[in-house]
Amino acid sequence: MLSLFLLLFKKSYWRMIFRRATWHEAWLSLLRAHKDRRARQHLGRFLLLILAPALCVGYLSWIVGSGMVYILPVLIPILWWQMRQSRQSKPPTVVPETQPTPREFTPEEKRSLRGFFARLTLFYAVMVDRAGSEGFLKQKVLPEGFEVTARRIYLDLLKKHDLWDRMSRLDREAMMMPDGHWAIRQINVAALSIEPLRLLRWILRIDFYLPLVGQQLRGDFRQSHDLVRAPQKVFDGTELGAVPMIETARDSARHYYVRCLAEEITRGYRTLPEDHSTDWAHEITQALAGKQHDDLVLGDKLVSETERDQLEWATLLSWNRLQFLNWTLAILQTGAIPEEFPSVSPTPLEEPEEIKAAELSPASPASSS
């Protein structure tokens, strides 16, 4: 019970309670609760989370009514001492450490790395926001929580924060185009940068929680517009995501893309070159198809149950997340900061980006990082 009381004094608890996606994820679990034990477990944790204040109030009322309130001045110091002792006493380690120790950066190196990722975040925010603005001017459909921003504001932001010279030529040319002159293809490709932006906000600890790929299939233009309106937010603070945390997210993204790709291959949506075996894909699909308690979930459906459009989108999304996190880890592990930002705009002769099946094969170098 003491842990529930302590939970109420944590900032992360209240942020989780008031986080919009927390309730959406609970709704998805509710839709699957009758057939998926994982959904039932998630709902149980969610109910405990939202009922914690009521449970604490009820417990305090019982303590006061039973007269135990008079022994609290003695009980609280004892409990505090026990918790302090349990934190300080760690059992001896008998298994040697096999994982490489992440590189320790000096305070100056960490500030430099965070500064790079902060500027990269603002760059992606501007490009995504411009894509949303151009999409509205083309289709007259305004994303929720979005406002059209003039091109001059974007250019001023990029130059004020020394981003302009680090952008690719194609991105600078795109930003120089008058409002309403982006092609649909340019808008769609730039909008894909919502995923790197989402990851960077999490790495900079602007957002404290990163949902799984299957829980976050839709992008949110408010994440870019929020930073365009208040760019200082990316530079405030000193936190930077730790390597083990990012590796966990990378591994999760890999699980999703391998599962989704296997489903695509099994259904015949994607073919591999003749020198690549598809046995692994069929084995994964046969082992998980229809397993309500085991298969990965996209929204409120299993990967094996989802429609083609959503399946292909989940494959692309998980691939983008995997690639970006691998790139980020390489920077954090070496400390080598790139001179230029990745390009967002498509080249004139480039076809719409697709994932090559051969590159996505679990046996390929790209997936074995």
- Residue 366 has a pLDDT of 36
Average pLDDT over residues 73-89: 61
Nearest to 52 by CA among 87, 13, 23, 22: 13
| Whole-angstrom distance, CA of residue 116 vs CA of residue 101 | 23
In angstroms, the Cα distances linking 325 to 11, 62, 174, 275, 312 are 27, 49, 26, 29, 20
CA distances from 10 to 20, 104, 217, 262, 302 (A): 18, 28, 29, 41, 34
pLDDT exceeds cutoff 80 at 46? yes
* Residue scoring higher pLDDT (361 or 347): 347
Lowest mean pLDDT, pick from 79-88, 128-137, 249-258, 348-357: 348-357
pLDDT greater than 60 at residue 357: no
- Name the residue among 233, 230, 226, 234 with its Cα closest to residue 146: 226
Residue 97: pLDDT over 70 = no
pLDDT at 252 over 70: yes
- Domains of the chain, by residue range, sit at 2-64, 107-193+220-234, 243-367
* Of 109-123, 144-158, 207-221, the least confident: 144-158
Quickly count helices (H) and strands (E) in the chain: 15, 2
DSSP symbols for 135-201 = HHHHH--PPTT-----HHHHHHHHHHTT-GGGS-HHHHHHHHSPTT---HHHHHHHHTTHHHHHHHH
User: Residue 346 — pLDDT band, cuts 50, 70, 90?
Assistant: confident
Nearest to 136 by CA among 96, 97, 107, 179: 179
Q: Are 319 and 250 in contact (CB under 8 A)?
A: no
CB 281 within 8 A of CB 266: yes
Tokens of 186: 């340019």
What pLDDT does residue 48 have? 85
- Backbone φ and ψ for 149, nearest 5 degrees, come out as -115, 135
pLDDT of 255 over the 80 cut: yes
- In DSSP notation, 219-263 reads --THHHHHHHH-GGGGTS------HHHHHHHHHHHHHHHHHHHHH
At residue 363, the pLDDT reads 40
Evaluated on CA atoms 210, 211, 212, 217, the torsion sign reads negative
Q: What per-residue confidence (pLDDT) applies to 69?
A: 56
Alpha-carbon gap, residue 122 to 232, rounded angstroms:
9
CB of 189 closer than 8 Å to CB of 344: yes
0.85 exceeded by pTM? no
Identify which has the larger pLDDT, 126 or 110: 126
Tokens of 185: 């293809």
Highest mean pLDDT among 1-10, 106-115, 347-356: 106-115
